[in-house]
């Protein structure tokens, strides 16, 4: 595995691979790897001749007062993991090599980015789209792999790929969880032992919503209220950011779960902001 920090070097090497007839699969990440990242890499490894993993804590997707500086980092451990899972390149650029001082071009998908996480993170998806497009261009990836934990992110990226005719196939992978149901996240290290003990209740609440929907409850408001009641009882350390029932592709809020429906949430626990989601009806 080669570790590259220079965007130009990444572009040149990937160009050579394409010229030799090789496909490229890309796994964009912010590092501090857990089994969710590993699953994306293992999957990407099966999809193409070459695998590029990017590790970049992208300043553009953090708003003022968010955890850019505190975001956990362990590049040595991460590079050992990426190498062991068959990455051909680990791309670890410095922010200054990805963004010129007077960087001025942004990619936005405003309709899909305004709800859910976009409500409390107004510049987040603009930063994500811009860096992901840059990574697509630099790696010239044929395939890119994302996690369903960040459901809104993958929906926005699919839309960007469609609208801009990007020659990249998007694949998503189910959320990898701890044995107690908590979605793996690099940010779980922020949790105190008390918060960690309660955090699986996020998933328990969502599972209750799914049970209700599958038992025939169609009213989104009733389903949502039952989750809020569950959390009020079992998740006292959690502070709700949002809990919404939306269409899985358009992300439009739904009043009923007659068709496909996704329940998505963000809950703050101490220093952590945890997200999760569940399909109420596929």
Q: Which residues are catalytic?
A: 37
Tell me how far, at minimum, the Cβ of 33 lies from ligand AMP, in Å.
Answer: 8
DSSP β-bridge partners for residue 52: 26, 89
| Residue among 169 and 224 whose Cβ is closer to ligand AMP | 169
Measured in residues, the chain has a length of 282
- The DSSP symbol for 185 reads -
- Round to whole Å and give the CA distance between 162 and 158: 6
Q: Does 149 bind ligand AMP (CB under 6 A)?
A: yes
Local structure of 52: helix, strand or coil: strand
Identify whether the C-beta of residue 72 lies closer than 8 Å to the C-beta of residue 32.
Answer: yes
Identify whether the C-beta of residue 126 lies closer than 8 Å to the C-beta of residue 113.
Answer: yes
Residue in this structure with the two tokens 């080669």, named with its chain if needed? 2
Q: Does 121 bind ligand AMP (CB under 6 A)?
A: no
Q: Does 36 bind ligand AMP (CB under 6 A)?
A: yes
Strand ranges inside 67-161, DSSP E: 89-91, 143-147
HSE toward the beta carbon, residue 4, CA cutoff 13 A: 24
Which residue among 4, 40, 143, 245 contacts ligand AMP (CB under 6 A)?
40
Q: Which two tokens stand for residue 246?
A: 């939306």
| Residue among 104 and 179 whose Cβ is closer to ligand AMP | 179
Between the alpha carbon of residue 14 and those of residues 1, 21, 75, 90, 195, the distances in Å are 13, 11, 22, 12, 43
| Residue among 186 and 257 whose Cβ is closer to ligand AMP | 186
Tell me how far, at minimum, the Cβ of 281 lies from ligand AMP, in Å.
Answer: 22
Q: Which two tokens stand for residue 236?
A: 């006292």
Q: Does 56 bind ligand AMP (CB under 6 A)?
A: no
Between the alpha carbon of residue 12 and those of residues 17, 138, 213, 256, the distances in Å are 9, 9, 51, 50
Give the binding range for ligand AMP (CB under 6 A) out of 12-20, 36-44, 99-107, 189-197. 36-44
Which residue among 79, 142, 186, 198 contacts ligand AMP (CB under 6 A)?
186
> Phi/psi class of residue 6: alpha, beta or left (left: φ > 0; alpha: ψ in -120 to 50)?
beta
Give the binding range for ligand AMP (CB under 6 A) out of 89-97, 177-185, 208-216, 224-232. 177-185
Q: Does 173 bind ligand AMP (CB under 6 A)?
A: yes
Q: Does 134 bind ligand AMP (CB under 6 A)?
A: no
Q: Does 126 bind ligand AMP (CB under 6 A)?
A: no
Sign of CA dihedral 172, 165, 92, 22: positive
Tell me how far, at minimum, the Cβ of 142 lies from ligand AMP, in Å.
Answer: 17
Give the binding range for ligand AMP (CB under 6 A) out of 4-12, 88-96, 141-149, 248-256. 141-149
Tell me how far, at minimum, the Cβ of 183 lies from ligand AMP, in Å.
Answer: 5
Which residue among 17, 146, 190, 230 contacts ligand AMP (CB under 6 A)?
146
Which residue among 150, 156, 159, 210 contacts ligand AMP (CB under 6 A)?
150
Interacting residue ranges for ligand AMP, rule: CB under 6 A: 29-30, 36-37, 39-40, 146-147, 149-150, 173, 175-176, 183-186
């Amino acid at each position: 595995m080669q570790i590259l920090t220079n965007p130009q070097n990444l572009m040149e090497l990937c160009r050579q691979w394409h010229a030799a007839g090789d496909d490229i699969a890309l796994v964009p990440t912010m590092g501090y790897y857990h089994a969710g990242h590993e699953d994306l890499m293992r999957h990407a490894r099966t999809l193409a001749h070459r695998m590029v993993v990017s590790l970049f804590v992208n300043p553009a997707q953090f708003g003022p007062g968010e955890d850019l500086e505190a975001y956990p980092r362990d590049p040595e451990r991460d590079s050992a993991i990426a190498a062991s899972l068959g990455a051909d390149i680990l791309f670890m650029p410095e922010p200054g090599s990805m963004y010129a001082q007077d960087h001025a071009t942004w990619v936005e998908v405003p309709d899909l980015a305004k709800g859910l996480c976009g409500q409390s993170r107004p510049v987040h998806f603009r930063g994500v789209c811009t860096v992901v497009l840059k990574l697509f261009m630099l790696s010239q990836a044929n395939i890119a792999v994302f996690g369903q934990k960040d459901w809104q992110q993958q929906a926005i990226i699919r839309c960007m790929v469609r609208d801009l005719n990007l020659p990249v196939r998007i694949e998503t992978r189910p959320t990898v969880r701890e044995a107690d149901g908590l979605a793996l996240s690099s940010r779980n290290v922020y949790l105190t032992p008390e918060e960690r003990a309660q955090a699986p209740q996020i998933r328990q609440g969502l599972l209750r919503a799914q049970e209700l929907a599958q038992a025939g409850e169609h009213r989104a408001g009733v389903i949502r209220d039952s989750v809020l009641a569950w959390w009020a009882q079992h998740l006292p350390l959690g502070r709700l950011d949002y809990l919404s029932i939306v269409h899985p592709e358009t992300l439009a809020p739904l009043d009923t779960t007659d068709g496909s429906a996704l329940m998505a949430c963000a809950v703050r626990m101490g220093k952590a902001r945890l997200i999760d989601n569940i399909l109420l009806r596929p």
